[in-house]
Structure 1
């Protein structure tokens, strides 16, 4: 069984390594060829074009940045749908809107190709350790065929229903990520503004009902050390919460906290923080209040 993998960035490269380590034959394509060198040394085979990898592989995984990238890779003239053989199973691990997933699924079905929207949660650490959560929508028959492969990449794998279901679940997760990121930032900046020791405040919050995985992640791994290399970048959370907000609007909710989170991440992007970790959403708030959330010992 030949596996094709398109998109070998921070997440994709780690997934490819896991597949190779578990005995899969993996062919890789990335727009920037230099990014696949380490994977070639690990046993992956580089393919020169999307059309070639689509024609030659039985299963094609994609892990891309933005919805427009996914549409181009799947529906472009040189894309997967145009060149893949009938019966090919495509696994899109990118976070996109349900409409994007459904659009691709319809065109894939017309060509006899299976398309599974299968976004993941768990970050680079989860990708490296095979502990991702994978949320899958699409044909159940195709899902069952690729479940052994998905089990190499993830620890929690859920089939949620028809095309678009996986994308919806992931966006709802990202909605919480964005909202919790903003709430944690607001609380920590407000505490610092009123003279509370940031580390002491954090230690209280993490053993109280205000605790959250996002609070712990952001403070312990990024904010206190003032180290904002991603992780999950601001630009991706901004994209995800924007798409998630569209879901809430379609559901009939008129006002919701995600609107403020989208604005906060947009503001962080305008501050030049797009490529930093999502926890950097705290920085514009710190600047606004004239404080820095950090450990007392660093003062």
Structure 2
């Protein structure tokens, strides 16, 4: 079984290494060959083009940045669907809207190709530890065929239903990530503004009902040390909460907390923080209140 992989960034490169470590033959494509040289040294073969990779692969995986990237890679004239063989299974790990997933699924189906929207949660450390959560939509028969591949990458792997189901579940997860990020930032900044010791407040919150994984992640790994290298970047969470907010509107809601979260991440982008970790959404709030949430003693 030959696996082709397009999108070898922070997440994708780690996925490729995991697959290679488990004995799979993996080919990769990147416009800049230097960016995949380390994967070649690790055992992957480098394809000259997306079309050649598609033509020679039984399974095609993508882990891209934005919905428009997914559309280009799958639907372009030199893209995956135009060049893959009938019977190929495509696994898209990108976070996109259900509409994007359904469009690609429909065109793939016409060509006898299976497409599974399979977004993930867990970050780079989740890939390295094989503990990702993977949310899958598409044909169940195709899901069952590629389950062994997913089990190399993830610990919680759920088939959720027809095409788009995985994308919807992931966006709802990202909705909570964005909302919790904003709420945690607001609470911690407000505490600092009223003179509370930030670490002491955090230690209280994390053993109370106000605790959350996002609160712990942001404070312990990023905010207290003022170290905001991603992680999951602000620009990606902004994209995801924007798409998630569309789902809530389609469900019949008019006012909801995700709208505030989208505004907060938009403000962070306007401040030039788009490439920083999502926890940097706290910085414009700190600036507005004239305080810094930081470490005052060893945790």
What is the TM-score of this pair, normalised by structure 1?
0.99
State the 1:32 CA deviation.
2.5
Q: Where does 1:258-269 land on structure 2 (aligned, <5 Å)? A: 258-269=258-269
Q: 2: CA distance between counterparts of 1:228 and 1:143?
A: 36
Partner of 1:200: 200
Aligned to 2:241, what secondary structure does the other structure show? helix
State the 1:52 CA deviation.
0.5
State the 1:69 CA deviation.
0.1
State the 1:42 CA deviation.
0.7
Q: 2: CA distance between counterparts of 1:138 and 1:239?
A: 23
Q: 2: CA distance between counterparts of 1:35 and 1:236?
A: 21
Partner of 1:160: 160
Partner of 2:243: 243
Q: Root-mean-square deviation (CA), in Å? A: 0.7
Q: 1: CA distance between counterparts of 2:32 and 2:288?
A: 38
Q: 2: CA distance between counterparts of 1:201 and 1:287?
A: 20
Partner of 2:180: 180
Partner of 1:257: 257
Q: 2: CA distance between counterparts of 1:32 and 1:93?
A: 21
2:43 matches 1:38: no
Partner of 2:90: 90
1:261-299 deviation digits (Å, cap 9, x = unpaired):
00000000000000000000000000001100001149x
State the 1:31 CA deviation.
2.5
Partner of 2:58: 58
Partner of 1:9: 9
1:185-221 deviation digits (Å, cap 9, x = unpaired):
0000000000000000000000000000000000000
Q: 2: CA distance between counterparts of 1:286 and 1:121?
A: 28
Aligned to 2:227, what secondary structure does the other structure show? coil
Q: 1: CA distance between counterparts of 2:220 and 2:87?
A: 46
Aligned to 2:65, what secondary structure does the other structure show? coil
Aligned to 1:296, what secondary structure does the other structure show? coil
Q: Where does 1:88-237 land on structure 2 (aligned, <5 Å)? A: 88-237=88-237
Larger mean Cα displacement after TM superposition, 197-206 or 288-297? 288-297
State the 1:127 CA deviation.
1.0
Q: 1: CA distance between counterparts of 2:163 and 2:287?
A: 43
2:81 matches 1:81: yes
State the 1:34 CA deviation.
1.7
Q: 2: CA distance between counterparts of 1:297 and 1:114?
A: 54
Unaligned runs of 5+ in 1: none
State the 1:37 CA deviation.
1.2
Larger mean Cα displacement after TM superposition, 36-45 or 236-245? 36-45
Which consecutive aligned stretches of 4+ in structure 1 deviate over 2 angstroms post-superposition? Answer: none
Unaligned runs of 5+ in 2: none
Number of residue-to-residue matches in the alignment: 298
Q: 2: CA distance between counterparts of 1:140 and 1:34?
A: 37
Aligned to 1:105, what secondary structure does the other structure show? helix
Aligned to 1:291, what secondary structure does the other structure show? coil
